[in-house]
Amino acid sequence: MRYRSLFLNFVSASIVFGAWEIAGRIPVSFAFPTFIESMSAFWVLIIEGTLFTAYAETLRPLVIGVVISTVLGVGIGLWIGLSRAFDWLVSPIFIVMQTAPLAALIPLLIMIYGIGLTSKVFVVCIMAMPVIVLNTSAAVRNTPASIIEMGNSFLGSRRDVIIKIILPAASPIVFAGLRLGVSAGFIGAILAELKITPTGVGDIISYSRSIADYPTMYAAILSIILLAVVFLNVLERIEITLFKGTRRNYVSD
C-alpha cells in the first residue's frame, strides 16, 4: 500500500506537470511559461541563494504568528469548550473570521500598524486562529461525558479533570486544528507579502511580474506550494505518530 500511494502521487504529479508543459507550449498565454522553463528558473533561484534569503524573510512573520495563534487559540478554544456563556459570547466572532474575506481588513491593518512586521503577523493570526479556536472548542465539548463523570466520582478537582482527562482526550483534534491553522497561516503570510509590502517570496513574485520574467514568477509560486505540501505532510506524520493514526472529524471538514 505504501508503494502504491507513492506511485499514485507520482502519476498525479506527472499528469499535472505534463499538462502544464503542454499548455505552455501551445501557448495558452504569453504570460504562461512551460514547466521546463519554470523549473530552470527555480534552479537558478536555488543556485544563487535568492530563494533561501527570501524564505528567511517570509517565515519570520509566519513563525511568530503561528506561535501566537497556537497559545491564544488553544487557550480561548479551551475556555469556549468549558463555558457556555463564553461560548455564546466569543464563538460567533471566530465563525465570522473563518468565513469572512479577511483580505479586506489588510488596508485597515496598514493604517493602524503600518507596513512592517506587526501587520504581517496580524494577518497570519487572523487567518490561523479561527481554525485553531474552533477545533479546540469542538474537541473539548465532545469529550465523552462518561470519563468526565468518572473523574468527578473519584473526587478529582476541576483542574485535575481538565488537565488529566479533557486535554488528553481532546489532543488529537487540537493537533489537527494546529495543522490546519498552520496551513491557513502560511496563506496569510504570503497574502501579507503581496498586499502589504513586497518582501521575501512576495517580492520575487511582484518583481518578476513587473519585468515580465514569468518563469521566475511561476517558480516562486511553485516553491510556495512545494514548501506547504512538505510542511503539512511532516505535521501529518507527527500527528499519526503521536496519536497512532486516530481519525477524528475536524470542524473545518
The rounded distance, in Å, linking the Cα atoms of 112 and 121 is 13
Instruction: Write down the pTM of the prediction.
Output: 0.76
Cell of 97: 473570521
Whether residue 2 is predicted with pLDDT greater than 70 in this model: the reply is no
For range 45-63, the mean pLDDT: 86
The rounded distance, in Å, linking the Cα atoms of 109 and 204 is 23
At residue 249, the pLDDT reads 46
pLDDT in tens, 157-183: 778 777 787 778 878 888 888 888 888
For 149, which DSSP code? H
Answer for the pair 207, 50: CB distance below 8 angstroms, yes or no.
no
Answer for the pair 144, 91: CB distance below 8 angstroms, yes or no.
no
Whether residue 11 is predicted with pLDDT greater than 70 in this model: the reply is yes
At residue 251, the pLDDT reads 43
For range 25-30, the mean pLDDT: 82
Q: Would you place residue 1 in the very low, low, confident or very high pLDDT band (cuts 50, 70, 90)?
A: low
At residue 246, the pLDDT reads 52
Average pLDDT for the chain = 81
Q: Would you place residue 145 in the very low, low, confident or very high pLDDT band (cuts 50, 70, 90)?
A: confident
The rounded distance, in Å, linking the Cα atoms of 191 and 114 is 16
Helix (H, G, I), strand (E, B) or coil at 157: coil
pLDDT in tens, 82-120: 888 888 888 888 888 777 777 777 777 777 777 777 888
Which among 244, 106, 241, 253 has a CA at the least distance from the CA of 177? 253
pLDDT cut 70: percent of the chain above it: 93
Q: Cell 463555558 maps to which residue?
A: 83
At residue 223, the pLDDT reads 87
Classify burial at 91, counting beta carbons within 10 Å of its beta carbon; exposed 0-12, middle 13-18, buried 19 or more.
middle
Sign, CA dihedral 147-153-155-159, equals: positive
For range 177-190, the mean pLDDT: 83
Q: Would you place residue 250 in the very low, low, confident or very high pLDDT band (cuts 50, 70, 90)?
A: very low
The rounded distance, in Å, linking the Cα atoms of 13 and 80 is 42
At residue 252, the pLDDT reads 43
Q: Would you place residue 18 in the very low, low, confident or very high pLDDT band (cuts 50, 70, 90)?
A: confident
Cis peptide before 27 (omega within 30 of 0): yes
Answer for the pair 166, 110: CB distance below 8 angstroms, yes or no.
no
The rounded distance, in Å, linking the Cα atoms of 103 and 243 is 35
pLDDT cut 90: percent of the chain above it: 1
At residue 196, the pLDDT reads 75
Sequence-separated (6 or more) residues with CB below 8 Å from residue 102: 123, 126, 127
For range 205-214, the mean pLDDT: 86
At residue 112, the pLDDT reads 76
pLDDT in tens, 121-140: 888 888 888 888 888 888 88
Domains of the chain, each with CATH number or no CATH: 39-243 (1.10.3720.10)
Ramachandran area for residue 143 (φ above 0: left; ψ -120 to 50: alpha; else beta): beta
The rounded distance, in Å, linking the Cα atoms of 120 and 128 is 12
Cell of 112: 493602524
